[in-house]
Amino acid sequence: MKEDMHSYNAMADNFVLTLPTDNKNRRMSIAWLLLAISSLLIAGLFTILIVLSRTPFFQDIVPWTDFFHTALVVHVDLTVLVWFLAYAGMFWTLNSRAACFKCGWLALFLSATGMLIIILAPFLGAGMPFMNNYVPVLRDPVFFAGLGLFGLGFAVLVLRGLFFSNPVGAIISGEGAIRFGLYTALISAVVAIAALLASWYGMPATAEGEYYYELLFWGAGHTVQFVHVQLMLVAWLCLATFSGIHLQITPRIVLMLFAIGLLPVLMTPLVYILFDVGSADHLEIISLIMKFGGGLAAAPVGVMIIYSLFAGAKSMPEESAAGNALLFSILLFAMGGVIGYMISGSNVIIPAHYHGSIVAVTLAFMGITFHLLPGLGFTKPQGKLVKWQPVIYGSGQFMHVLGLAWSGGYGVQRKTAGVAQQLDGIEKIAGMGLMGLGGMIAIVGGILFLIIVFQSIWPSARKSS
């Protein structure tokens, strides 16, 4: 393991993050990674039934409409909440000083307990789903207890990161730029938490039912997307370095781009000051901040990576898991961004947009995981499956998103299943069929990721430290 750590840390002048050498921080980082992987595993089990419940011919075999909505709540909360925020916990812990470990373990315990309760809630009788955006809920005290515990754990995690992150350094290096990017994600998380509290405090007295939770999570849900984007850019830069791409960009410019990516987040408090929660202006401006601000940093970083790849200096030497994950992540993020400008009405173009965006983040996290595992003391993932896993997952998700966007153009409504989709034309059937096929291919890619990680972390394969 020492040789792997040395080879990893020797790249510190590039866009990589030096892994902690102390066992306490390393163990905590591993725990956050395992929490993230566990959420992805459980969410994947729900994904299979969700995809089948919306695929032509399969949807007619079993009437899964009621189960579809309950499963969708758990699936969404595990994938766009627990998976991303637990992975953020791993990133921030890797960048933390050896301090306040009790705070870190408390955050992890609360988050893990909350996730477990969210998973078990449907089996304990929780039902009556609200399909509001960002954090859909089941109207049950058990579910809300789990969601609250996870949120509290995340808040403790963010506070620890704010006070105990490693500094950028006096000289701006590639690693310093990465550390700054991680810190901008922390600031975005603070604003998201503040937005949640401000939405609760300023909630209109007339808000109730699903509309209440729509307003509650609207500001925070939009803002937390900037956390994901900033962390995705950290992963992109690291993956580019691992892939052998000589980036035609300086650490100082990267740091500036991270700062630009944070600027839209800092506009969010002004929206709460100027407009009442629930007002049309409040809702619209929050959306516009994400729509036009989400790609401010991602677009130039992605373009620079692609330019550097073909610049002729030191381009990618060969196909690799890092390179494949990086390219598919950039492709899907760009695709999701373009589709976002096509949204009109409440149809499946909306999930096509956010699936493209969040899958881009997931692919970046998957790719970086393969390179973090050896430095955390596990066996290095090797073999053809490692190289092809991002291709399979990325290709499946590309088809999935394309099918949703195509079907949305013909009016297929979102958050429906079975006959409620009204697939009464060949265009709709073809589009949703492509969605289903792509979804199943993506599931295979997701399963391969879990298998590869499982083989690496299995105790018998773990290397001695």
Q: How far is CA 446 from CA 42, 43, 320, in A?
A: 12, 10, 17
Task: Tell me the C-alpha distance between 256 and 250, whole Å.
Answer: 10
Task: Tell me the C-alpha distance between 421 and 414, whole Å.
Answer: 8
**What one-letter code names the amino acid at 438?**
G
Give residue 10's pLDDT: 40
- Digit-coded pLDDT (tens) for 284-308: 999 999 888 988 999 999 999 999 8
Give residue 32's pLDDT: 97
Q: How far is CA 390 from CA 197, 288, 368, 369, 399, in A?
A: 38, 31, 11, 12, 14
Contacts of 218 (CB under 8 A, 6+ apart): 133, 134, 199, 283, 286
Give residue 261's pLDDT: 96
Task: Choose the weakest-confidence range: 132-146, 338-352, 361-375.
Answer: 338-352
Full DSSP string of 102-165:
HHHHHHHHHHHHHHHHHHHGGGGT---EE--SSS-EESSHHHHHHHHHHHHHHHHHHHHHHHHB
- Digit-coded pLDDT (tens) for 386-405: 999 999 999 999 998 888 88
Mean predicted confidence (pLDDT) in 117-143:
89
284 within 8 A of 204, measured Cβ to Cβ: no
Which candidate, 367, 369, 371, places its Cα nearest to that of 329?
367
Residues above pLDDT 90, as percent of the chain: 57
Task: Tell me the C-alpha distance between 355 and 349, whole Å.
Answer: 10
In this structure, what are the phi and psi dihedrals at residue 337, rounded to the nearest 5 degrees? -65, -45
3-state secondary structure of 8: helix
**What one-letter code names the amino acid at 244?**
G
Give residue 8's pLDDT: 41
Task: Tell me the C-alpha distance between 357 and 333, whole Å.
Answer: 5
Domain residue spans of the chain = 2-337, 338-465
- Digit-coded pLDDT (tens) for 265-285: 999 999 999 999 999 999 999
Residues above pLDDT 70, as percent of the chain: 84
Highest mean pLDDT among 49-63, 300-314, 411-425: 300-314
pLDDT value at 5 more than 50: no
H or E segment to which residue 138 belongs: strand 137-138
pTM of the model: 0.89
373 within 8 A of 456, measured Cβ to Cβ: yes
Give residue 61's pLDDT: 57
**What one-letter code names the amino acid at 403?**
G
Give residue 50's pLDDT: 67
Q: What is the residue-averaged pLDDT of the chain?
A: 85
Give residue 355's pLDDT: 81
- Digit-coded pLDDT (tens) for 428-445: 677 777 888 888 899 899
* Helices then strands, each counted (H, E), the chain: 15, 2
pLDDT value at 53 more than 80: no
pLDDT value at 419 more than 50: no
